């Protein structure tokens, strides 16, 4: 790692296929961060098992996600790129941090409450401990910045609290990380219920556009997107959540500004507008999908990349963990 650069950490769970919400909220920016930061990117498979997964599917999703990262411009030679479960320090650090985290804090987490409702038959310890594992991920690499969607803000705040708590209880050990949130696109919403975030594990898959959706599917889903009845294409997330969500998607995929997009659709009907959004998204997804497939077909290459990544990650993570073990009083032979 280069000494003079700040460290940036992010991870995505290999649950299901990613949505364009994940893409816009995180993945599309990752390639551009690689020149300015020491980037550490992970496939968070240990987080994924906090809700039930089919083992074969989880394995396949992990490889597919790795290929997608690379297809989106993540260069394994420029960053540290690995699978979370390949680096045992994450579980170990999580355990150390657990003893500095209160049950009440975890019970108050919005995501825990949401997921407990959605998976009422499986409210497990891992689900509750999810934010501490995330803190372990981030703090192990002495991370300065964490780019995530707005849904992760609360988890980042608790990471900061835990870091400060540890530093105060022992002595300065962890860098206290900052979040980076995009202004437009930090929260892409469900096409059928624009008050909810678009999620890869949503109940109705027609509200989410998956990175693997083909052209017809993308266009069909956008055609059915919920808007409103005033036939006016303006960015106003509070009063026009459906239209604003489509505009946010359109501007990020077309590279146009919000003003430009509003002018372009001035006086047009919702039908034309939805078709235009569908077409630009389908156009942009096609080359990414082709590249992802090419990489996935080369299993040996992917396995090599992930083995190297885990080794690189381990060296940094172990160093931080050893410091922590020393400070908390574990006898070191």
Half-sphere exposure of residue 95, counting CA atoms within 13 Å on the CB side?
A: 7
Segment interacting with ligand ATP, rule: CB under 6 A, options 12-20, 122-130, 249-257, 288-296: 12-20
**8 A C-beta contact, residue 258 and residue 210:** no
Which listed residue (7, 80, 152, 292) binds ligand ATP by CB under 6 A?
152
Which listed residue (7, 101, 152, 292) binds ligand LTN by CB under 6 A?
152
Cβ-count burial 152-168 (b if 16+ within 10 Å, e if not) = beebbebbbebbeebee
Distances, alpha carbon 105 to alpha carbons 114, 122, 125, 133, 143, in Å:
15, 20, 14, 14, 22
**8 A C-beta contact, residue 24 and residue 63:** no
- The Cα–Cα gap between 251 and 62 comes to 29
Q: In DSSP terms, which residues pair with 189 in a beta bridge?
A: 197
- The residue among 109 and 321 lying less far from ligand ATP, judged by its C-beta, is 109
Tell me which of ligand LTN, ligand ATP, none is bound by residue 21, counting a contact when its beta carbon lies within the kind-specific cut-off of 5 to 8 angstroms: ligand ATP
Residues annotated as catalytic (active site), given as ranges: 115, 197, 200
Tell me which of ligand LTN, ligand ATP, none is bound by residue 138, counting a contact when its beta carbon lies within the kind-specific cut-off of 5 to 8 angstroms: ligand LTN
Restricting to residues 25-64, name those near ligand LTN by CB under 6 A.
Answer: 44, 47
Segment interacting with ligand LTN, rule: CB under 6 A, options 7-15, 240-248, 258-266, 302-310: 7-15
Segment interacting with ligand ATP, rule: CB under 6 A, options 33-41, 67-75, 196-204, 236-244: 196-204
**8 A C-beta contact, residue 42 and residue 306:** no
Please report, as ranges, the residues that interact with ligand ATP according to CB under 6 A. Answer: 12-13, 15, 19, 21-22, 24-26, 148-149, 151-152, 186-188, 197-201
């Amino acid at each position: 790692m280069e000494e003079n650069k700040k460290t940036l950490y992010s991870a995505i769970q290999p649950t299901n296929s990613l949505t364009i919400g994940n893409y816009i909220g995180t993945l599309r920016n990752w390639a551009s961060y690689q020149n300015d930061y020491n980037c550490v990117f992970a496939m968070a498979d240990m987080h994924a098992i906090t809700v039930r997964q089919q083992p074969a599917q989880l394995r396949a999703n992990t490889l597919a996600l790795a290929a997608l990262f690379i297809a989106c411009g993540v260069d394994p030679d420029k960053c540290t790129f690995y699978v979370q479960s390949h680096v045992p320090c994450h579980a170990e650090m999580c355990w150390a941090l657990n003893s500095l985290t209160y049950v009440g804090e975890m019970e108050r987490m919005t995501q825990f409450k949401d997921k407990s409702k959605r998976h009422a038959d499986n409210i497990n310890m891992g689900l509750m401990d999810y934010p501490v594992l995330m803190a372990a991920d981030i703090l192990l690499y002495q991370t300065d910045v964490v780019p995530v969607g707005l849904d992760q803000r609360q988890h980042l705040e608790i990471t900061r609290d835990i870091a400060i708590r540890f530093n105060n209880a022992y002595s300065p050990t962890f860098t206290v990380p900052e979040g980076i949130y995009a202004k437009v696109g930090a929260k892409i919403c469900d096409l059928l219920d624009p008050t909810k975030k678009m999620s890869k594990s949503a109940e109705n898959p027609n509200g989410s556009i998956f990175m693997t959706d083909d052209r017809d599917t993308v266009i069909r889903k956008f055609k059915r997107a919920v808007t409103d009845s005033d036939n006016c294409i303006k960015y106003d997330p509070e009063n026009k959540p459906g239209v604003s969500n489509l505009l946010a998607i359109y501007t990020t995929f077309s590279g146009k500004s919000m003003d430009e997009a509003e002018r372009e659709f001035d006086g047009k009907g919702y039908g034309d507008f939805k078709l235009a959004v569908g077409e630009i998204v389908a156009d942009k997804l096609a080359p990414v999908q082709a590249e992802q497939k090419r990489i996935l077909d080369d299993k040996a290459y992917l396995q090599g990349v992930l083995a190297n990544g885990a080794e690189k990650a381990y060296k940094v993570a172990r160093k931080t963990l050893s410091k922590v073990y020393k400070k908390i009083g574990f006898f070191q032979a």
